[in-house]
Structure 1
Amino acid sequence: MPNRNALVRLLLIPFLALFALANAGADIGTPQRYTLDASASNVSAKVPFFGLASKTANFPRMQGAVTIVPGAPERAVIDVTFDATAIEAPDSLTLERLRGEKFFWVEKYPSIRFVGRSLELSSPTRGTVSGELTARGVSRPATLDVTFNADPLMQVGKPVSFTGTTTIDRRQYGMKSYQLIVGNKVDITLKARMVPR
């Protein structure tokens, strides 16, 4: 009898392996597509000023789309474009400089874009999005640390909000002026609400 049991187990191994392979993608659901709710989304950029304080610019106008695949977060795509010409600043002098050639040069580069192509979750509501940020015609790798208001893989058909943060070096995007006054590290915060489409 022991030999017979061993033979049964031996025969079952390839069958179970085939069953596991056949069902490996069973938990992957239909891609969920969202549009960013522009009225409830914005981007801010905070930079040190004189090493003692900071100034924050806001980009209130943006558009974008998000795709999340239940069961396969690594297939997520976040594509957000914000209007650089609509930039807001604490004072008129700062605004003039930010809009000018030494910073965002909005006349030549009217938009800034982030495209994330992979979501790695560390918990149901926290993770990182790896992608690329393009500003002033320069594209560089960027990673957003994201926090969702609910598990995005479980909110099928429902709005989902998230906050994403990253830090860039403005010099890598051609913004090298006023280095004795303005810090080089820029903290960027994206707050967005995604609406199913």
Structure 2
Amino acid sequence: MAAMLGLAAPSAAQVSPSGSVLRYRIDALKSNVKARVGFFGIASKTARFPKVNGGIDLQPSRLDTIRLDVTLDTTALEAGDEVTLKRLKSENFFDVERHPTVRFLGRRMTMTGPVTATIDGDLTARGVTRPVTLAVSFANPPAKATGREPIRLSAQTKIDRTDFGMDAYRLIVAKTVTITINAQMVPN
């Protein structure tokens, strides 16, 4: 349940002094977002968001000042079967007619290792915004980013769907939803 937004174009050189911001955009063809929720207490259902947009701005010398923007097109949502898809797109869950996107905007990163971090930000779904923390793994240390190579990351968080007004089928569908973002960012 996350969302997308394009970022401004970088200034003249992508590789610049360590104090400069490096800008990347999500490569939608090499990125995906999934949301998994328990079902009947013994199984799970997974929704896929094939239309992902956004990007990341980072300063290798000041990684705490990150900006991660992930926007999902809920109208393109995919599910394992037509009944589930119809329910997920309905006003009981994503209400895609009134809320065609879900967006995560990360504003602060805390490195927990050379390639692991947490990113604090806000998730907006169905017009409701709540704070969320992503646990992130990078393919390469972000502190060594130059602006020439892609940035690959995998991130995960858990949310309570009822916090976003998705409270239908409480006896059948679990409250906790696990969101996984796999993204490749390319220099913008």
- SS of residue in 2 equivalent to 1:104: coil
Whose radius of gyration is greater, 1 or 2? Answer: 1
| Structure possessing the higher relative contact order (Cα contacts under 8 Å, 6 or more residues apart) | 2
Equivalenced residues, count: 171
Paired residue for 1:193? 184
Paired residue for 2:140? 150
RMSD value over aligned CA atoms? 1.0
Paired residue for 1:74? 64
Q: Which runs of 4+ in 1 moved over 4 A?
A: none
Paired residue for 2:81? 91
Is 1:114 equivalent to 2:104 in the alignment? yes
- SS of residue in 1 equivalent to 2:84: helix
- SS of residue in 2 equivalent to 1:89: coil
Q: 2:158 touches 2:179 (CA, 8 Å); kept in 1?
A: yes
State the shift of 1:66 in Å.
0.5
**Which structure shows the bigger proportion of residues in helix conformation?**
1
> Percent of aligned pairs with the same residue?
46
TM-score, normalised by the number of residues in structure 2: 0.89
Q: Deviation per CA, 1:42-83, whole angstroms, max 9, x where unpaired?
A: 110000000001010000101102101011111110011110
- SS of residue in 1 equivalent to 2:105: strand
| Distance in structure 1 (CA, Å) of the matches to 2:25 and 2:173 | 35
Q: 2:38 touches 2:174 (CA, 8 Å); kept in 1?
A: yes
Among 100, 125, 128, the alignment partner of 1:135 is 125
Paired residue for 2:39? 49
State the shift of 1:29 in Å.
2.5
| Distance in structure 2 (CA, Å) of the matches to 1:28 and 1:172 | 40
Q: 2:60 touches 2:145 (CA, 8 Å); kept in 1?
A: no
TM-score, normalised by the number of residues in structure 1: 0.85
| Distance in structure 2 (CA, Å) of the matches to 1:40 and 1:155 | 19
